[in-house]
Chains A and B, each alone.
Chain A
Amino acid sequence: MSVLSLRLPWRRGQAELVSLAAVGRTPWQQALARLWRNRPAILALLFLALMVIACVAGPWLLPWDLETTDALAANHPPGAGHWLGTDFLGRDILTRLLHAGRISLAVGLVSVVLSVVLGYVLGALAGYAGGWVDGAIMRLADLLMTIPSLPLLIILGALLSELQVAPEQRIYLVMLMLSLLGWTNLARIIRGQVQSLRSRDFMLATEVLGLPLWRRLLVHLLPNTIPTLIVVATTGVASAILNESYLSYLGLGVVPPTPSWGNMMDTANSFVDFQRRPWLWMPPGLAIFATVIAINVLGDGLRDALDPRLQARSAR
């Protein structure tokens, strides 16, 4: 080992490259082709794209405003003017729904980006470094996993109410909360992968070739974990959106006047609204359901497309 890892700088970069002409499509192109053939996944992707476009552009195109109240048009059922009706202040439900979609999608996306960065870095570090670093990170993950996440989120949500955080800043804290609890799963998976990849022959070869550490990690080791990262992150968005909606429904997540899909359903707590005015709480519920199911179907399609091991199974 020690002899093999001697550095021979004068040899570096001088070996002749094998002709690459015979190499076919890259694994990424193959994965993309597999995804394209998976009709439900592509439909889900289309639906999500439409949902994002509607939420981003919709509020500008609709004639109604988020905050404008209209006492004469309160509690109208869905009809020609207000497609999804109005609430007790005469605010247009569709406009609020799309605004809420911006918030809910943003909370889901941002919290997952944060937790993925955290989980990936910590997982890769634990897997590669081993020793006490690995021990410390994994014990921390174990500890966070011992407390079921919903009770803990509820307590943290109550903490935010206690601190009287302004509604505008509260969204960011909710994102942070979700991501601080969400990283452990990814960290475990990535750690396992890095551990098994580290001892494989191609990694030994990079050591023999005397490649610098950053190159061995960034160019050879970590790209192999990207497929897993993509799949876990996709399904993570779904669970982050669900968790945010639970918290907001209970009044502990995103709070009014900022609308989110979860807190719009709060109206169902009043019996009259619940029984007589389903247009107040059904649209946000359906929006959460449709978005989350689309993300899950897409995540499943990505798993099939990116994981050759699973591909072999389905071909059998």
Chain B
Amino acid sequence: MRTYVLRRLLGAIPLLFGASLLIFLVFALTPGDFIDGNINLTPQRAAELKALYGLDRPLWARYLSWLSQLLHGDLGFSLQHQIPVSTLLGQYLWSSFLLALVSLLLYWTLSLAVGVLAAVRPYGWFDRVVTLLVFAAMSFPVFFLCLLLIKWFAVDLGWLPVGGMISIGSNATGWDYALDVARHMVLPVLTLVMLQAGGLTRYVRASMLDALAMDCVRTARAKGLPERVVILRHALRNALLPLIALLGFELPGLFAGAIVTEKIFNWPGVGHIHIDTLAARDYPVLMSFTLLLAVLTIVGNLLADVLSALADPRIRLR
């Protein structure tokens, strides 16, 4: 087990460097930067500023200094917000995390329950309805769903706020504050749950169908165990095995911020910051954020491998 984890860890290191190089090149080779975008600067002043920020140095030198900064835990300085990038991300990361965590818990519960029920009677009426809904969920453009929900629930019916995280001018504390945030969360969470539950339910159903066809399930039935025990204890356990890996892949999603959803619901998260800093060409923020996503993806894959290996000894030996 230890050698397995060690091998995976070592394999991830070149991937991390590769990702950092790729991200650096995409941004460094993009013409125009934060300073070029400011038309009030004289050419001399612009050149001075570029020298100040080190933008006049050759490409490889810039990459190496960026990398060494990163390795020292320094993500850089936001040009637009004039605060360190780590502070900026720290401000917005947790509201994204809150949104993502609540949605994650909801759609995993929903998908597991619905997927198992659908697989128990495949091609029954429930399964057919679920399949239809799964296809609908997989095919909805995110922004269209957001817009429809806002139109119906926030504008036409007026039940819920249109966007943001707290009501404007609100200085509520304690329970009132939590309730206010919860009301603002309903629609974005609903959007994320509706979109994510589709693919996951399909996966749970397929995995459960595979598990129900296993010999151990036939044996359990032959022993005369009640169907409930057969499904929940014998089939579901085997069906969960491939799903454990999926849980690892969710890691980047927890911190990445749902870019489109946050933008439309005006949720103050990192996804929203991502779009806004893009317009201002605030590259230190964009690069750190993209790199953060890449690191989380790599760590998530690693986590998925390790969790699967923990749950299934056969994988460790491969």
Q: Which residues of A contact B (CB under 8 A)?
A: 139, 142-143, 145-148, 150-152, 154-156, 158-159, 162-163, 238, 242, 245-246, 249-250, 262, 265, 268, 274-275, 278, 281, 285, 288-289, 292-293, 295-297, 300, 313-314, 316
**Which residues 1-41 in B have Cβ within 8 Å of A in the complex?**
14-15, 18-19, 22-23, 26-27, 30-32
Contact of A246 among B142, B256, B293 (CB under 8 A): B142
Q: Do residues B151 and A278 form an inter-chain contact, with CB atoms below 8 A?
A: yes
A262 to B19, CA, bound (A): 30
Secondary structure at chain B's binding surface: helix, strand, loop or mixed?
helix
Q: Do residues A147 and B142 form an inter-chain contact, with CB atoms below 8 A?
A: no
**A146 CB contacts on chain B under 8 angstroms:** 15, 18-19, 294, 297-298
Q: Any chain A CB within 8 A of the CB of B126?
A: no
Q: Do residues A268 and B147 form an inter-chain contact, with CB atoms below 8 A?
A: yes
Q: Any chain A CB within 8 A of the CB of B259?
A: yes
**B123 CB contacts on chain A under 8 angstroms:** 314
Q: 3 tightest CB-CB pairs across the interface, nearest first?
A: A285-B144, A293-B139, A292-B139
Interface residues as binary, B129-154 with A (CB distance below 8 Å gives 1, 0 otherwise) = 00000011011111110011011000
Secondary structure at chain A's binding surface: helix, strand, loop or mixed?
helix
Q: Do residues A242 and B141 form an inter-chain contact, with CB atoms below 8 A?
A: yes
Q: Any chain A CB within 8 A of the CB of B317?
A: no
Number of A-B pairs, beta carbon distance below 8 Å:
112
Q: Do residues B290 and A147 form an inter-chain contact, with CB atoms below 8 A?
A: yes
**B26 CB contacts on chain A under 8 angstroms:** 152, 155-156, 159
A145 to B301, CA, bound (A): 11
Q: Do residues A155 and B290 form an inter-chain contact, with CB atoms below 8 A?
A: yes
Q: How large is the interface on B (under 10, 10 to 19, 20 to 34, 35 or more residues)?
A: 35 or more
A156 to B294, CA, bound (A): 16
A242 to B275, CA, bound (A): 18
With A139-B18, A289-B140: A155-B297 Cβ-Cβ less than 8 Å:
no
A300 to B135, CA, bound (A): 10
Q: Do residues A297 and B135 form an inter-chain contact, with CB atoms below 8 A?
A: yes
By beta carbon, the residue of chain A nearest B271 is: A151
Contact of B141 among A147, A156, A288 (CB under 8 A): A288
